[in-house]
Amino acid sequence: MPIDMPLTGLLGIRHPILLAPMDAIAGARLTAAVSRAGGFGILGGGYGDRAWLERETGKLEGAQAPFGIGFITWSLAKQPELLDVALAVRPRAIMLSFGDPKPFAPQIKSAGALLICQVQSEAMALTALDAGADILIAQGTEAGGHGATRTTIDIVPAIVDLAAGRVPVVAAGGIADGRGLAAMMMLGASGVLLGTRFYASAEADGAEEAKKLICAATGGSTARGVVFDLSRSIVWPAPFTGRSLINDHVRRWTGREVELLQSMNTVATEYAAARAARDFDVAAVFAGQSVGLIHDIPPAAEIVERIVAEAEQIMLGRRNSSTALRA
């Protein structure tokens, strides 16, 4: 049975578990697998590779289970035609992260899609609500990839209070099991968005070596910073930084970011070669602090089933305890 009716009903899914639209990781295969399992798969449109987007959306066209497509909003500002490609396959929702969603909301809404906005502060949430967001993702700093500084346990109830029941709020950051889902629901969230846990799944497009590194890592094996962005000749605005597994490249350049910026062209060439060679002593594995909870690489459906079963058991136990205390 669905744990949360408002979110699941809105998206047409059985379980309040959403796939984070991880760039180059959340392809059509993983998106479809999460959706078939009763969660909500979101394809990772990322920085806006049109050829990749056309290929992967083509695989999802006509899919029976509902799915979404996610973008870094700034990529749409540079290539607005990407939104046409996405909407052509009739996704249930478009997810926008970072940047102002207002310029794209009318087109999304007129196409009949829901608007999901990921936010890291109350100000961002107000902007998203003003744009007509149907669902808010409250992302904590524990999340892998790009994010800000507020912790999940701080930002989730703050955004829940701000939304005041107008739209569902989904929690993201540091969540990888049923305990996390149950905890976030106790904070008022209607569900969870998971990235790192689904990165270490059979259907994720990431390298097997990267998945094994996630399984071997502990919660203290990640760091948030700008080293990998500068190494890819990408400059993100404050307050956004990227969380990844700590490797030799991070150790080499942390504290020397100004020097890295000055050497960016040379380092970028070296970094691109390492990434192509899957040399993860240099190349990034973007992952969150939930890595310490991840020890295997199962199919996505098994991940969904485990999380739901564990959360239901926890919540049932809590209800039974409350009943016993009242008796």
Q: Note whether 132 and 236 are same-domain residues.
A: no
Q: How far is CA 300 from the centre of its chain?
A: 15
- Say what the alpha-carbon torsion angle 88, 170, 175, 23 is, to the nearest 10 degrees: 20
pLDDT tops 80 at residue 190: yes
Q: Note whether 18 and 143 are same-domain residues.
A: yes
Side chain identity, residue 239:
P
Residue 1: its pLDDT value, please? 43
The last residue of a domain, from among 190, 206, 222? 206
306 within domain boundaries: no
Sheet (strand 114-119) strand order: 17-19, 191-194, 169-172, 135-139, 114-119, 93-97, 67-72, 41-44
Report the CATH number that the domain containing residue 190 is assigned in CATH: 3.20.20.70
Task: For the chain, give the percent of residues with pLDDT over 90.
Answer: 91
Give the residue numbers spanning the domain of 235. Answer: 208-276
The last residue of a domain, from among 259, 276, 293? 276
Q: What mean pLDDT comes out for the span 311-315?
A: 93
Q: Note whether 142 and 251 are same-domain residues.
A: no
284 within domain boundaries: no
Output phi, psi for 133, to 5 deg. -60, 140
262 within domain boundaries: yes
Q: Note whether 20 and 124 are same-domain residues.
A: yes
Q: Note whether 126 and 47 are same-domain residues.
A: yes
Residue 296: its pLDDT value, please? 98
Residues 1-21: tens digit of each pLDDT: 446 568 999 999 999 999 999
pTM: 0.94
The last residue of a domain, from among 276, 302, 317? 276
Question: Picking from 46-50, 78-82, 205-209, which range would have the lowest pLDDT averaged per residue?
Answer: 46-50
Q: Note whether 239 and 180 are same-domain residues.
A: no
At 326, is the pLDDT very low, low, confident or very high (cuts 50, 70, 90)?
low
Q: Note whether 81 and 186 are same-domain residues.
A: yes
User: How many domains does the structure of the chain reveal?
Assistant: 2
161 within domain boundaries: yes
DSSP states of 204-244: --S-HHHHHHHHH--GGGEEEESHHHHHTT--PPTT-EEEE
Task: Tell whether omega for the bond before 239 is within 30 degrees of 0, i.e. cis.
Answer: yes
What is the rounded average pLDDT for all residues in the chain? 94
**Distance, CA of 2 to CA of 5 (rounded, Å):** 6
190 within domain boundaries: yes
Q: Note whether 92 and 228 are same-domain residues.
A: no
Q: What mean pLDDT comes out for the span 296-309?
A: 98
Residue 2: its pLDDT value, please? 47
Q: Note whether 90 and 186 are same-domain residues.
A: yes
Residues facing 223 on adjacent strands:
244
313 within domain boundaries: no
Q: Note whether 247 and 187 are same-domain residues.
A: no
Is residue 238 within 8 A of residue 253, CB to CB? The reply is no
138 within domain boundaries: yes
Is residue 213 within 8 A of residue 285, CB to CB? The reply is yes
312 within domain boundaries: no
Residue 325: its pLDDT value, please? 46
Q: Note whether 25 and 174 are same-domain residues.
A: yes
Q: Note whether 179 and 77 are same-domain residues.
A: yes
| Block residue for tokens 């497009």 | 205
Measure CA of the first residue to CA of the last residue in the chain; give whole Å: 27
Residue 134: its pLDDT value, please? 98
